[in-house]
């Protein structure tokens, strides 16, 4: 029955686009966060859910919704260049079959990020974009948080509804994205228009944010503790009473350690012993391979270039003569970009991040002291914090082409465009403003119409 319900939700979003075209764009965001083809695989498993919804979103915009387009700013230009560079990299790919498989979904992610600012323009639409993305992920995060709270979870256990290594089923991705959502959830708790009942808004979003912590702990991923430290530090920096907030965060950290399961503590204890711990050592070895590879291939090796790597591991208790690993992923967004798209791709990605922070800073500066635009200021802070947490976590997992980064880029640009339009000087309708002073500046009267009078 759940599969049929998921299919009905999908169909409702497709049909809803006939009345409000941006609904199909929301449907594409939902597909990218909920993965209905995997959760409801018996009904939608063989159906091209993303292609159909994406086509409907594009047609809905072209046929029914072409108004107030955004400026062609740096974010849109850089996104277009990234999509082009990804495509060009196919011509020199060292793993052509894998490159085409990754390009098929990664290219759509990047391209749709460039499409989002054309569709989501108003406050309600921007909030709906955030809501749908987070609520689509809620079906994966909240159950993991509950299971981890009750059982303690464990490293290597797939506690989600998704197959292994799909989206947030990967432990480090779950920990990173769950904690990345916390600032956005607290923003929605305070400013949501789509959930007008305060009791529901406060209860749901606060509970969701709280469950993100046991979800991160339950994965057993060491990335989670890095993201928690970054998130705590960001909230401490924003606090006006730093002594009190620092003390509160210290107590919270102690409570997390006390009540966390022993297997999580044992896993965290391996951080200092990276040279003996196989997972961390493999990651470092792959990073060394990437640096050696781009020394001879500065343009990268195309998408999924890691498939050709050969990693020689030192002897251990089980392999006294050493052992070999092949085709190991870099498990780092920065090394993923470097190995696949070379230095140009890594620089493009870094500039996109910088441009996003500049956009958010501009929003904060322009809305300072304007009570009606407090939500813009708070959303800019939440998006900046979410991006910093994602950057910290993605240092240890390759998610450069997953939707999370690109939705943050696009949403920040949408917010910047909203503020620009909202604060633009109003142009009175029906008022003629001459280019220069004097009688020569009056426009000539059109035949059959009275001359325009000055107002």
Q: Is residue 369 part of a domain?
A: yes
Residues 229 and 195 in one domain: yes
330 and 367 inside one domain = yes
Q: How far is CA 344 from the centre of its chain?
A: 22
Last-in-domain residue among 253, 273, 293: 273
Q: Tell me the C-alpha distance between 331 and 436, whole Å.
A: 62
Q: Is residue 153 located within the same domain as residue 91?
A: no
pLDDT value for 453: 41
Q: Let me know whether 320 and 385 are in one domain.
A: yes
- Do residues 314 and 397 both lie within one domain? yes
Inter-residue contact 390 to 403 (CB < 8 Å)? no
For residues 131 and 194, the answer to whether their CB atoms sit within 8 Å is yes
Report d(CA 25, CA 320) in Å as an integer: 55
Rounded to whole angstroms, the Cα distance separating 364 from 376 reads 8
- SS3 sequence, the chain? CHHHHHHHHHHHHHHHCCCCCHHHHHHHHHHHHHCHHHHCHHHHCCCCHHHHHHHHHHHHHHHHCCCCCCCCCHHHHHHHHHHHHHHHHHHHCCCHHHHHHHHHHHHHHHHHHHHHHHHCCCHHHHHHHHHHHHHHHHHHHHHHHHHHHHHCCCCCCCCCCCCCCCHHHCHHHHHHHHHHHHHHHHHHHHHCCCCCCHHHHHHHHHHHHHHHHHHHHHCCCHHHHHHHHHHHHHHHHHCCCHHHHHHHHHHHHHHHHHHCCHHHHHHHHHHHHCCCCHHHHHHHHHHHHHHHHHHHCCCCCCCCHHHHCEEEECCCCCCCCCEEEECCCCCCHHHHHHHHHHHHHHHHHHHHHHHHHHHHHHHHHHHCCCHHHHHHHHHHHHHHHHHHHHHHHHCCCCCCCCHHHHHHHHHHHHHHHHHHHHCCCCCCCCCCCCCCCCHHHCCCCCCCCCCCCCC
Within a domain: 435: no
15 and 88, same domain (yes or no):
no
The pLDDT, as a whole number, for residue 446 is 42
Verify that 212 and 283 share a domain, yes or no.
no
Of the candidates 208, 218, 177, 217, the one whose C-alpha atom is nearest the C-alpha of residue 391 is: 177
Give 262's Cβ-side CA count (13 Å radius).
0
pLDDT along the chain (455 residues), means of 10: 86 88 92 88 85 91 84 92 96 93 93 94 94 91 81 64 76 90 94 89 91 83 87 86 77 69 58 56 88 94 92 76 82 94 96 97 93 94 96 92 95 95 71 45 44 41
Q: Examine the domain organization and report whether 332 and 268 are in the same domain.
A: no
Asked whether residue 302 falls in the same domain as residue 413, the answer is yes
Place of tokens 């929301």: 26
Residue that is last in its domain, among 231, 255, 273: 273
Same domain flag for 303 and 403: yes
Q: What is the dihedral of CA 372, 377, 378, 379, to 10 degrees?
A: 110
Among candidates 305, 195, 270, 179, which has minimal Cα distance to 233?
179
Please count the CA atoms within 13 angstroms of the CA of 437 that sit on its side-chain side. 0
Give the per-residue pLDDT at 180.
Answer: 94
Question: Is residue 448 one of the residues assigned to a domain?
Answer: no
Domain-located, residue 432: no
**Is there a single domain that holds both residue 10 and residue 108?**
no
pLDDT value for 445: 47
- Round to whole Å and give the CA distance between 177 and 426: 40
pTM: 0.87
The domain in which residue 261 lies consists of 128-273
Q: Which pLDDT value is given to residue 434? A: 47
By the 8 A CB rule, do 106 and 336 touch? no
The answer to the question of residue 257 being in a domain is yes
With respect to residue 454, please indicate whether it lies within any of the assigned structural domains.
no
Whole-number Å distance between alpha carbons of 426 and 412: 24
pLDDT of residue 420: 92
Contact 319, 312 (CB under 8 A): no
Give domain status of residue 412, yes or no. yes
Q: Return left, alpha or beta for 220; rule: phi > 0 is left, psi -120 to 50 is alpha, else beta.
A: left
Give the count of domains, the chain.
3
Question: Facing residues of 326 across strands?
Answer: 310
110 and 155 housed in the same domain: no
In a domain, 8, yes or no: yes
């Amino acid at each position: 029955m759940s599969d049929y319900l998921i299919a009905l939700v999908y169909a409702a979003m497709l049909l809803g686009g006939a009345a409000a075209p941006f609904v199909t764009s929301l449907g594409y965001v939902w597909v990218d966060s909920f993965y209905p083809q995997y959760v409801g695989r018996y009904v939608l498993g063989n159906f091209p859910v993303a292609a159909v919804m994406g086509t409907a979103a594009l047609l809905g915009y072209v046929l029914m919704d072409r108004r107030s387009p955004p400026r062609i700013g740096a974010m849109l230009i850089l996104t277009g260049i990234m999509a082009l560079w990804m495509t060009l990299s196919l011509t020199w790919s060292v793993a052509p079959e894998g490159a085409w498989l990754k390009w098929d979904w990664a290219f759509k992610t990047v391209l749709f990020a460039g499409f989002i600012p054309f569709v989501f323009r108003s406050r309600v639409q921007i909030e709906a974009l955030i809501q749908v993305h987070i609520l689509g992920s809620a079906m994966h995060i909240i159950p993991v948080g509950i299971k981890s709270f009750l059982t303690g979870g464990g490293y290597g256990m797939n506690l989600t509804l998704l197959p292994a290594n799909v989206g947030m089923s990967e432990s480090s991705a779950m920990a990173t994205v769950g904690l990345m959502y916390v600032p956005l959830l607290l923003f929605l708790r305070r400013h949501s228009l789509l959930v007008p009942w305060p009791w529901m808004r406060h209860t749901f979003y606060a509970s969701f944010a709280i469950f993100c912590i046991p979800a991160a702990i339950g994965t057993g991923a060491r990335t989670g503790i890095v993201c928690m430290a970054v998130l705590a530090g960001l909230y401490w920096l924003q606090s006006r009473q730093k002594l009190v907030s620092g003390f509160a965060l210290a107590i919270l950290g102690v409570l997390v350690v006390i009540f966390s399961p022993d297997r999580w503590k044992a896993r965290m204890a391996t951080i200092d012993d990276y040279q003996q711990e196989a997972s961390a050592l493999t990651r470092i070895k792959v990073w060394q391979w990437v640096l050696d590879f781009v020394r001879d291939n500065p343009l990268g090796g195309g998408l999924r270039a890691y498939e050709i790597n050969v990693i020689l591991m030192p002897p251990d208790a089980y392999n006294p003569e050493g052992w070999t690993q092949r085709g190991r992923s870099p498990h780092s967004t920065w090394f993923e970009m470097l190995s696949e798209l070379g230095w140009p791709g890594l620089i493009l990605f870094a500039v996109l991040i910088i441009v996003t922070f500049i956009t958010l800073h501009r929003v904060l500066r322009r809305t300072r002291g304007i009570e009606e635009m407090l939500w813009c200021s708070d959303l800019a802070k939440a998006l900046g914090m979410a991006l910093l947490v994602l950057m910290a976590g993605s240092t240890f997992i390759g998610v450069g082409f997953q939707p999370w980064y690109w939705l943050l880029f696009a949403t920040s640009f949408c917010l910047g465009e909203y503020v620009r339009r909202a604060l633009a000087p109003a142009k009175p309708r029906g008022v003629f403003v001459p280019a220069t002073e004097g009688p020569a500046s009056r426009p000539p009267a059109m035949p059959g119409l009275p001359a325009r009078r000055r107002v």
